[in-house]
Amino acid sequence: MPQQQQARAEAAAPVRMTTAEATVASLQAHGLDTIYALPGVHNDAFFDALAKAGGGTARDAKIRVVHTRHEQGAAYMALGAALATGKPQAYSVVPGPGLLNSGAALLTAYAMNAPVLALIGQIPQDAIGRGLGFLHEVRDQAGIIARLVDWSARIKSPHDAPRLVAEAMQAMCTGRPGPAALECAMDVWGRTGPVTPHAPLSIPEPPVDEDAIAAAAKRLGAAQRPLIVAGGGAQDASAEVTQLAHLLQAPVLSYRRGRGVLDERDPLAVTLPLGHELWAEADVVLAVGTHLHYPLQQWGIDRDLAIIRVDADADEPARFAKPAVALVGNAKPILRRLLEALPAHNAKRAPRTAEMQERHARMQKRLEQKLGPQLGYLAAIRAELPEDGIFVDEVTQHGFVSRLAFPVYRPRTYISPGYQDNLGYGFATALGAQDARREVPVVAISGDGGFMFTANELASAMAHRIPLTTIVFSDGAFGNVRRTQEERYGNRLIACDLTNPDFVAFGKSFGAEAVRVQTPEELRAALRRAFARRDGPTLIEVPVGPMPSPWEFIHMKRVRGI
Ligand SMILES: Cc1ncc(C[n+]2csc(CCOP(=O)(O)OP(=O)(O)O)c2C)c(N)n1
Ligand SMILES: [Mg+2]
């Protein structure tokens, strides 16, 4: 019991140590074994405490420090590690420019509900808020941070550190998970005082609402055309979603964050375009850990559709429209109760296997007719990537199509940035995923635009021997923007053509393996070699021409409430 642990911890005599030492000890006590980081004078005492605790860049260091070449690299790596493991991860940066450089990644961690702890330096404690022009000073840093994360605090003494670390770790996993931040002033890191350890705090879980379970079971049991929609919040409830889908013979729609919750070799698994068809026909929808963004904003609702929402965020279910039933909390225990309650109400159901296979075949034909070039390369990747290998997408032509048509077999093996869809997140996020999950191959795909956002981190991949495989589809353009200008703005091309390095020479200059391939078959052979190499990164360039547009399969017309 955490309370008993805390009682024992408090009974122990306080030990004198610095704020930095107390913070490092607390992070370790919470199971954090890696810090993605970029150091600087504000955090020197913190890094020294890491060194004194047996920390370092070696793989067997007691607490690993993975230093990067830019703060966005550190923060994206923590994000990738958190998404690939489902566990909290941390990064540390200097204040002001360091924090802001990590900003897009912190924003993405918020949008993706990823438990990423930002450890951010500060100017001297007594100078904060006085505008004296200290190195890296930014007005109201705490206020900036508070807009980016739901929980943040400043450590003001050694005594505060263990409790604040415990609260930050708890906050990241309570309700809707997400990032948290701890600031500490440069002089406070080095200050010495009495410290008492703080035991990890338990994660409060709201009781399952039994009336809502009964109402949901009745509605789902009686449904004639049930549909399940799985989002990122369903990633840890894969077994439960799978059982419900089979009991109900309900297709499971997932798009970006919910991919792999149901093994997509199951004919009940669908992505956006078939989901659109099924949404139009559905009478009851069970939405698990998803904003239901596309269905609610684009496809429409009406009185003939009852929506059951399961969400860790109490405000989410009714944000857009009041649902028929709302269940608030962690998806796994809620769906377990639903599985117990459902059989008493469930209609007898004929298997929908044949119908779903026919639908898939029809959609596959449409996709192939339109998106053949992208599908060929994606099929090559799927053929070589093991079942438990991790695919990290990007905001690129092959990324958009992968969200529709790259089959995903297991939870947490498809990483996609959700509604931020921020170009350039992919490579560094994938580095973090591969760093945290060394035992499986991770493959990142990027366009030439997106890759160059964090291409400098190839140096970090070499330094830390991260065996990530990266495929860069180079079309010499911000291709997506270019096509929009061609099609919708009278071909007035502006700010969309790119001048690229020789990507193979670029990769090799870091010491990475680097090759260029021209066909899906060549890509397969290159991937086989890359996945076999476990001591460093591989870069594969695939030169491509303009790609066909995927948007007709993503932005689809209203089908309800017209
Ligand atoms: C942070 C951010 N900046 C800008 C954009 C707008 N944007 C979306 S796609 C795109 C072009 C992507 O180019 P590239 O990575 O080469 O992929 P391609 O479309 O050429 O396959 C841009 C600029 C974005 N999504 N995110
Ligand atoms: Mg491009």
Neighbours of 502 (CB within 10 A): 12
CB 455 within 8 A of CB 440: no
Residue 433 to residue 441: CA distance in whole angstroms:
10
Question: CB neighbours of 353 closer than 8 A, spacing ≥ 6?
Answer: 267
Q: Ligand 1 centre and the CA of 484: distance in Å?
A: 12
Determine the atom of ligand 1 nearest the C-alpha atom of 425.
1
CB 113 within 8 A of CB 176: yes
CB 308 within 8 A of CB 287: yes
Nearest CA to ligand 1 atom 13: 478
Q: Would the CB of 434 count as within 6 Å of ligand 1? A: no
- pTM, whole model, 2 decimals? 0.97
Q: Ligand 1 centre and the CA of 395: distance in Å?
A: 6
User: Strands 15-18, 192-195: parallel, antiparallel or unpaired by DSSP?
Assistant: antiparallel
**What are the pLDDT digits (tens) for 215-241?**
999 999 999 999 999 999 999 999 999
Q: Ligand 1 centre and the CA of 470: distance in Å?
A: 17
Q: Which amino acid is residue 198, in one-letter code? A: H
Cα 320 → chain centroid:
23
Nearest ligand to the CA atom of 476: 2
User: Strands 192-195, 284-288: parallel, antiparallel or unpaired by DSSP?
Assistant: unpaired
Q: Would the CB of 393 count as within 6 Å of ligand 1? A: no
Nearest CA to ligand 1 atom 11: 478
Phi-psi region of 491 (alpha: psi -120 to 50; beta: other; left: phi over 0): left
Q: Ligand 1 centre and the CA of 385: distance in Å?
A: 25
CB 309 within 8 A of CB 327: yes
Q: Nearest 5°: CA angle at 442, between 499 and 110?
A: 80
Write out the two tokens for 70: 């830019």
Nearest ligand to the CA atom of 108: 1
Task: Name the residue of 106, 394, 423, 554 to mutate for ligand 1: max ligand atoms within 8 A of Cβ.
Answer: 423
Nearest ligand to the CA atom of 421: 1
H helices of 447-502, in order, are 448-451, 458-463, 479-488
Nearest ligand to the CA atom of 451: 1
Closest CA to 321 of 337, 305, 332: 305
CB 470 within 8 A of CB 453: no
- H or E element that contains 148: helix 141-148
Write out the two tokens for 463: 């330094």
pLDDT of the chain, 562 residues: tens digit per residue: 455 666 666 667 899 999 999 999 999 999 999 999 999 999 999 999 999 999 999 999 999 999 999 999 999 999 999 999 999 999 999 999 999 999 999 999 999 999 999 999 999 999 999 999 999 999 999 999 999 999 999 999 999 999 999 999 999 999 999 999 999 999 999 999 999 999 999 999 999 999 999 999 999 999 999 999 999 999 999 999 999 999 999 999 999 999 999 999 999 999 999 999 999 999 999 999 999 999 999 999 999 999 999 999 999 999 999 999 999 999 999 999 999 999 999 999 999 999 999 999 999 999 999 999 999 999 999 999 999 999 999 999 999 999 999 999 999 999 999 999 999 999 999 999 999 999 999 999 999 999 999 999 999 999 999 999 999 999 999 999 999 999 999 999 999 999 999 999 999 999 999 999 999 999 999 999 999 999 999 999 999 999 999 999 999 999 999 8
Closest CA to 536 of 443, 466, 457, 469: 466
Q: Ligand 1 centre and the CA of 348: distance in Å?
A: 48
Under DSSP, is residue 325 helix (H, G, I), strand (E, B) or coil?
strand
Q: Ligand 1 centre and the CA of 418: distance in Å?
A: 15
Q: Would the CB of 449 count as within 6 Å of ligand 1? A: yes
Backbone angles phi, psi at 200, to 5 degrees: -55, 140
